[in-house]
Amino acid sequence: MKLGMIGLGKMGLNLVTNLQNHDHQVIAYDLDETARAQAAKVGAQPASDTTELIAQLATPRIIWVMVPAGKVTQSVITELSQQLSAGDIVIDGGNSFYRDSIAHSELLATKGINFFDVGTSGGMAGALNGGNFMIGGDQDLFKTIEPIFQSIAAPAGYLYTGAVGSGHYLKMIHNGIEYGMMQAIAEGFDVLEHSEYKYDHAAVADMWNHGSVIRSWLMELAAAAFKEDPGLKHLQGKMYSSGEGKWTLEEAIRLQVPTPVIAASLMNRYRSLEDDTYTGKVVAALRNQFGGHAVDKK
Amino acid sequence: MKLGMIGLGKMGLNLVTNLQNHDHQVIAYDLDETARAQAAKVGAQPASDTTELIAQLATPRIIWVMVPAGKVTQSVITELSQQLSAGDIVIDGGNSFYRDSIAHSELLATKGINFFDVGTSGGMAGALNGGNFMIGGDQDLFKTIEPIFQSIAAPAGYLYTGAVGSGHYLKMIHNGIEYGMMQAIAEGFDVLEHSEYKYDHAAVADMWNHGSVIRSWLMELAAAAFKEDPGLKHLQGKMYSSGEGKWTLEEAIRLQVPTPVIAASLMNRYRSLEDDTYTGKVVAALRNQFGGHAVDKK
Amino acid sequence: MKLGMIGLGKMGLNLVTNLQNHDHQVIAYDLDETARAQAAKVGAQPASDTTELIAQLATPRIIWVMVPAGKVTQSVITELSQQLSAGDIVIDGGNSFYRDSIAHSELLATKGINFFDVGTSGGMAGALNGGNFMIGGDQDLFKTIEPIFQSIAAPAGYLYTGAVGSGHYLKMIHNGIEYGMMQAIAEGFDVLEHSEYKYDHAAVADMWNHGSVIRSWLMELAAAAFKEDPGLKHLQGKMYSSGEGKWTLEEAIRLQVPTPVIAASLMNRYRSLEDDTYTGKVVAALRNQFGGHAVDKK
Amino acid sequence: MKLGMIGLGKMGLNLVTNLQNHDHQVIAYDLDETARAQAAKVGAQPASDTTELIAQLATPRIIWVMVPAGKVTQSVITELSQQLSAGDIVIDGGNSFYRDSIAHSELLATKGINFFDVGTSGGMAGALNGGNFMIGGDQDLFKTIEPIFQSIAAPAGYLYTGAVGSGHYLKMIHNGIEYGMMQAIAEGFDVLEHSEYKYDHAAVADMWNHGSVIRSWLMELAAAAFKEDPGLKHLQGKMYSSGEGKWTLEEAIRLQVPTPVIAASLMNRYRSLEDDTYTGKVVAALRNQFGGHAVDKK
């Protein structure tokens, strides 16, 4: 199929390559010229702006948006709502908040433009070689774009998930689970690191990936990371987060579903970004007040 | 190789079958006659007690113990310490606490008997078709028993982990990670279950196993479980636990390693075994005291 | 001073009594006629609707709103914005979300009406005999209404907290702390309840209130509750919550401040409202899948 | 009464002063000569070793031990078991683990020496002016020593709690509650510290202590600490811990009582002692592996 791709960052460029490798024809646009050149190298046809990108596609057009969630996505969607025609299809493959996606769908619908919210998982490797896609939007129209996913997804790695918003909603929950799994794995290795036994973490992770209950892609990545840098001595333990773990917790709170592990994982990420905490100072001050316990002065 | 197997429960019997399928010769003993008969069916030679089992093996004997951790294991090890000869090898493949294993090793060492503590993962399917084994004990002597693991482990699914105790220690941590991963997965599906979208959980789990970041054996098992009983309507949410998640938390506390997710997972398991909590009653009583908030009477 | 009170529920009626006891003159309105009659009994002048209430007050009027947070408060504020005059003062003493209070302030400001958001603590007893008040709004104008708080607060029990919103914000955080403190106290007694020692919980709580580090009003309430119903046998452990603990967690997430204890407290409240959990079912199903572990069927 | 005091640290010395102020006569011993001199200043009679201390007391002797829990306490108790006579009374007022206290009681009982385990709360100020005491041991014999507690406890601030061990057990739980309460208070102020409103924390804590639901001695100490050092700028947030919060969690685990808040409080203390975590490094490494997410290098 012929489709447009807006956004040629790490994920977008890999998706373009994946699409081209599967004989789709991509008109590719990014603000960054270098990115456009890289897309051209893998066979895509670069466009110098969205107007040119749109002009290269016959109606009904299919345009995949792969830009940072939030303001950038909103700005691109708004622009497309002004430039596209009724019957065209916009796919947001980014990490948008599902309520934003519903709003985007409603905006586009005022012009008769169709919208799919697509949660994308599998990381950069998946985008390139076979990713994982959760797809919300109109069920009948989904058939039109399904061949794209048949090409670029891992075998059996896509699912039509229901009404608009359901794709990004599911991706949000996916990331909430991911936060918990990563934290669980990391805590386990942290205990190992402090134990009297001296384990080879790369060998342990590798062994666990061959037949154990906790074998998983994350454990494979752990094995790879430990191989590259045993002891992870060159890293700081700063655990940044995009929005999706946070949204999962907010959604759990909204629905009053207890998710103590996802909550603890997120809390721990925030904690990792601080060198010291006011919480700690207050507790230290209280201990000093009642017990004369020594405090560490600055 | 020829070896003895004491304990023919779910795991032991599958291990016997696995061993026999790989041309090892097992002398099999269990208190339960039916279990012995089942072992005989897969080609093992049943023994009616440990004395007979021992008599069937030439020195240096290899005996795999696969019985419940704690008192039963201790009793079997003690018995073997009295019956075996110097140079014999005892393998504890159960879920023993690593400090117990060190004690067992020391007990056997007084008679010159060798000991390996082997953490076994992979569940019943793994025991039957290729499991995952973490092996602590003497490094040189390990070569003697390595052929066993080459046969019954999943490819690359075993590791010599160091001094005695290190195998069961690693299995303990493995289970701590497992608790966290399971809880994370479960919380995610709990939010999905309460959301306004109506997802097919089996389809979601299956899709996630094809290319997503959270693909894992546990997610495969989730897909299978949702397929068997969509909505899990026939199950109660009681989360029992053997000792290993608990030990992981106790070890983390001992080492002062923060493991909030493993802690929360264990707390949640205990919570699931109670219909109501005294904690909840106290909070309800306090709210009633200061705010006149309604309480649910019994 | 002369002031209006809208809302004569548990808190509102006690405040009216407190105000009347301190020689203030209250024009009191509530939808419920019985509540109005009760207000009359303590010396307030009942009004049959807000129009009548407003008519009884000379400008600049002072009206205290003490109705359920959310829609009811919003509706009352909107009505007042249409009926009051420039220079009048509206006080929201309820548990409103601080951003709502900012919006209410802005709405009233369009008519020149002043607004104070007042977080109220101390429970029903405090409302009656001396409560605790956190007051946001215009600092100069605060002097006009300060005599009210000098009368009805516990000695030193009120604080001007800054710009509008800061009063309800502080009350929100107060409740977040309260959730954590209550849960901590409750967990302690839960362990005591399960221990081999048989403690008299009322006596323990009472003793702790006399000189211990954890002496507190909540512990006094615990002593009272245990005295009334040793073992709390007539209560269910359902821990309901109004919005403020939830908002505290949401605010912590917004600010990326790790608050694991407040998060765990809220999670535990939600958990208490469910008889069984889907999370638990998923974990039970997974354990059954890999280990053949017994599950409790329904 | 006349009694011996072994251990003249911060707590012991204050207790001696408190006892002397109430017309008890203390024979005081500490390894440190300066401490003995300080005891003499408040009217106690210093002893240069335990033999001398014992010699100054008539049978049945009463000796209060107030030394660090663990090895020091054990060593003092062992020494006393060799030097005292049947009918004498040993009181351990320190923070001993309750199982140790049971063992100490059994050791002393072999010589007919009596033992009370006394949990002491209220901090240094309490030890000096009226503390809080939880007392386990023989109920009849308790009457003999009760006058001591009538003198040195805050009014109504002591309780006979049952069989030996029950005093230190209750103190353990007291500290578990304390950990949770302190963490809850600290988290609340941490959110305040990060909020857009600029609160005066000392004023807030002070106001909350006058009539709010969360008024408590810990909040009074918070007010004092914020007054001394607004912003706590001279402190590091290292939250050290003695053993009792840890033991509370271990006891909760043993009894399978879910205590998520006490667990999270302890985890947070351990976290505060580390500048960086291996957990964080593993999560950062995983994010980098799958998403190419930037990591902070060392």
Q: Which of A146, A187, A239 to mutate to test the interface with B (most CBs of B within 10 A)?
A: A187
pLDDT value for C295: 72
The residues near B130 (Cβ < 8 Å, ≥ 6 apart) are: A211, B18, B122, B152, B153, B154, B155, B157
Is residue D212 located within the same domain as residue D262? yes
Which residue, B225, B199, B174, is CA-closest to C286?
Answer: B225
Gyration radius of chain D's alpha carbons: 23
Q: Which of B282, B287, B288 to mutate to test the interface with C (most CBs of C within 10 A)?
A: B282
Residue B290 lies in a domain: no
Q: Which helix (H) or strand (E) holds D114?
A: strand D114-121
Residue A100 lies in a domain: yes
Is residue C36 located within the same domain as residue C145? yes
Query: Do residues C64 and C93 make contact, with C-beta atoms less than 8 angstroms apart?
Result: yes
pLDDT-derived band of residue D297, with 50, 70 and 90 as boundaries? confident
pLDDT value for C98: 98
Is A178 an annotated catalytic residue? yes
Average pLDDT estimate for A171-185:
98
Structure tokens at D129: 């002016």
CA distance to partner chain B, nearest, from residue D294 (Å): 17
Per-residue pLDDT reduced to its tens digit, A50-82? 999 999 999 999 999 999 999 999 999 999 999
The yes-or-no verdict on residue C49 having pLDDT over 90 is yes
Is residue C13 located within the same domain as residue C97? yes
C-alpha D16 chain-centroid distance: 17
Average pLDDT estimate for A103-122:
98
Q: Do A263 and C268 touch (CB under 8 A)?
A: no
Residue D269 lies in a domain: yes
pLDDT value for A138: 98
Residues of C in Cβ contact (< 8 Å) with A282 = none
Is D297 an annotated catalytic residue? no
Average pLDDT estimate for A105-131:
97
Residue A215 lies in a domain: yes
Structure tokens at B90: 């005892």
Residue B132 lies in a domain: yes
pLDDT value for A104: 98
SS3 D27: strand
Is residue D75 located within the same domain as residue D122? yes
Is residue D34 located within the same domain as residue D89? yes
**Which subunits have 3 or more CB–CB pairs within 8 Å of chain A?**
B, C, D
Q: Which helix (H) or strand (E) holds B236?
A: none
Residue B17 lies in a domain: yes
The yes-or-no verdict on residue D133 having pLDDT over 80 is yes
Q: Do C207 and D252 touch (CB under 8 A)?
A: no
For residue C34, count CB atoms less than 10 angstroms from its CB and return exposed for 0-12, middle for 13-18, buried for 19 or more.
Answer: exposed
For residue D107, count CB atoms less than 10 angstroms from its CB and return exposed for 0-12, middle for 13-18, buried for 19 or more.
Answer: middle
pLDDT-derived band of residue D294, with 50, 70 and 90 as boundaries? low
Q: Which positions of B are catalytic?
A: 171, 178
Q: Do D211 and C131 touch (CB under 8 A)?
A: yes
Q: At what angle do helices D278-291 and A217-228 cross, to 10 degrees?
A: 110
B297 closest CB neighbour out of C234, C271, C293: C234
Residues of C in Cβ contact (< 8 Å) with B224 = 289
Which residue, B115, B132, D278, is CA-closest to A203?
Answer: B132
Residues of C in Cβ contact (< 8 Å) with A258 = 267-268, 270-271, 274, 277, 279
User: Sheet of C131-136: strands edge to edge?
Assistant: C45-46, C25-29, C2-6, C62-65, C89-92, C114-121, C131-136, C153-162
C-alpha C183 chain-centroid distance: 17
Average pLDDT estimate for D232-254:
96
Catalytic residue among D52, D79, D178, D220: D178
Domain total of chain B: 2
Which residue, D272, D276, D205, D274, is CA-closest to D245?
Answer: D272
B183 closest CB neighbour out of A170, A180, A185: A180
The yes-or-no verdict on residue D91 having pLDDT over 70 is yes
Cis peptide leading into residue C60 (ω within 30°) = yes
Which residue, C285, B123, B124, is CA-closest to A213?
Answer: B123
For residue C151, count CB atoms less than 10 angstroms from its CB and return exposed for 0-12, middle for 13-18, buried for 19 or more.
Answer: middle
pLDDT-derived band of residue D292, with 50, 70 and 90 as boundaries? confident
CATH number at residue D263: 1.10.1040.10
Residues of D in Cβ contact (< 8 Å) with B270 = 256-258
Q: Do A181 and B178 touch (CB under 8 A)?
A: no
Domain end residue (candidates: A164, A193, A210)? A164
Q: Do D256 and B277 touch (CB under 8 A)?
A: no
A-B interface: how many C-beta pairs under 8 angstroms?
274
d(CA A119, CA A106): 18
d(CA D47, CA B38): 76
Q: At what angle do helices B166-194 and B260-272 cross, to 10 degrees?
A: 70
CA distance to partner chain C, nearest, from residue B62 (Å): 26
Per-residue pLDDT reduced to its tens digit, B114-156? 999 999 999 999 999 999 999 999 999 999 999 999 999 999 9
Q: Do D260 and B256 touch (CB under 8 A)?
A: no
D184 closest CB neighbour out of C184, C256, C258: C184
Burial B241-260 (b: 16+ CB within 10 A, else e): beebbbbbbbbbbebbbbbb
Is residue D214 located within the same domain as residue D157? no
Q: Which chain C residue has the Cα nearest residue A286?
A: C213
CA distance to partner chain B, nearest, from residue A89 (Å): 22
B264 closest CB neighbour out of D256, D260, D266: D260
Residue A202 lies in a domain: yes
Query: Do residues A45 and A28 make contact, with C-beta atoms less than 8 angstroms apart?
Result: yes
Q: Which chain A residue has the Cα nearest residue D131?
A: A290
Burial D37-74 (b: 16+ CB within 10 A, else e): ebbeebbbbbbeebeebbebbeeebbbbbbbebeeebb
The yes-or-no verdict on residue D206 having pLDDT over 80 is yes
The domain of A202 spans 174-278
pLDDT value for C132: 98
Residue D43 lies in a domain: yes
Is residue B33 located within the same domain as residue B98? yes
Query: Do residues D174 and D121 make contact, with C-beta atoms less than 8 angstroms apart?
Result: yes
Per-residue pLDDT reduced to its tens digit, A78-99? 999 999 999 999 999 999 999 9
CA distance to partner chain D, nearest, from residue B216 (Å): 15
The yes-or-no verdict on residue C181 having pLDDT over 70 is yes
Mean pLDDT for chain D? 97
The yes-or-no verdict on residue C294 having pLDDT over 70 is no
Catalytic residue among C52, C178, C220, C250: C178
How many CA within 13 A on the CB side of residue B53? 29
Per-residue pLDDT reduced to its tens digit, D70-84? 999 999 999 999 999
Which residue, A288, B282, C206, C185, is CA-closest to D132?
Answer: C206
pLDDT value for B295: 73
The residues near D34 (Cβ < 8 Å, ≥ 6 apart) are: none
Is residue A11 located within the same domain as residue A63? yes
Residues of C in Cβ contact (< 8 Å) with B239 = 280, 283-284, 287
B198-206, long-range: CB within 8 Å, 24+ apart, which pairs? Answer: B198/A162, B199/A161, B199/A162, B199/A166, B199/A170, B200/B230, B201/B226, B201/B230, B201/B231, B202/B226, B202/B227, B202/B230, B203/A159, B204/A134, B204/A159, B204/A161, B204/A170, B206/A156
ipTM score for this prediction: 0.96
Residues of D in Cβ contact (< 8 Å) with A290 = 122-125, 217-218, 221
Catalytic residue among A52, A79, A111, A178: A178
C159 closest CB neighbour out of D204, D215, D262: D204
CA distance to partner chain C, nearest, from residue A270 (Å): 6
Residues of B in Cβ contact (< 8 Å) with C187 = 279
Entry field: residues in chain C:
298
B19: left (phi over 0), alpha (psi -120 to 50) or beta: alpha
One-letter-per-residue 3-state SS of D254-297: HHCCCCHHHHHHHHHHHHHCCCCCHHHHHHHHHHHHHHCCCCCE
Is residue C27 located within the same domain as residue C45? yes
d(CA D34, CA D19): 19
Q: Do D284 and A233 touch (CB under 8 A)?
A: no
Domain end residue (candidates: B105, B134, B164)? B164
Is residue A34 located within the same domain as residue A109? yes
CATH number at residue B49: 3.40.50.720
Is residue C134 located within the same domain as residue C196? no
d(CA D176, CA C191): 10
Outline where chain B has alpha helix (H): 10-21, 33-41, 50-55, 71-83, 98-109, 123-129, 139-152, 166-194, 201-208, 217-228, 244-255, 260-272, 278-291
Domain end residue (candidates: C137, C164, C191)? C164
What residues does C136 pair with on adjacent strands?
C117, C162
**Which subunits have 3 or more CB–CB pairs within 8 Å of chain C?**
A, B, D
Is residue D6 located within the same domain as residue D118? yes
Which residue, A126, A172, A174, is CA-closest to A15?
Answer: A126
Per-residue pLDDT reduced to its tens digit, C192-251? 999 999 999 999 999 999 999 999 999 999 999 999 999 999 999 999 998 999 999 999
Average pLDDT estimate for B198-224:
98
- Pairing outcome for strands B131-136 and B114-121: antiparallel
Query: Do residues B17 and B125 make contact, with C-beta atoms less than 8 angstroms apart?
Result: no
pLDDT cut 70: percent of chain B above it: 100
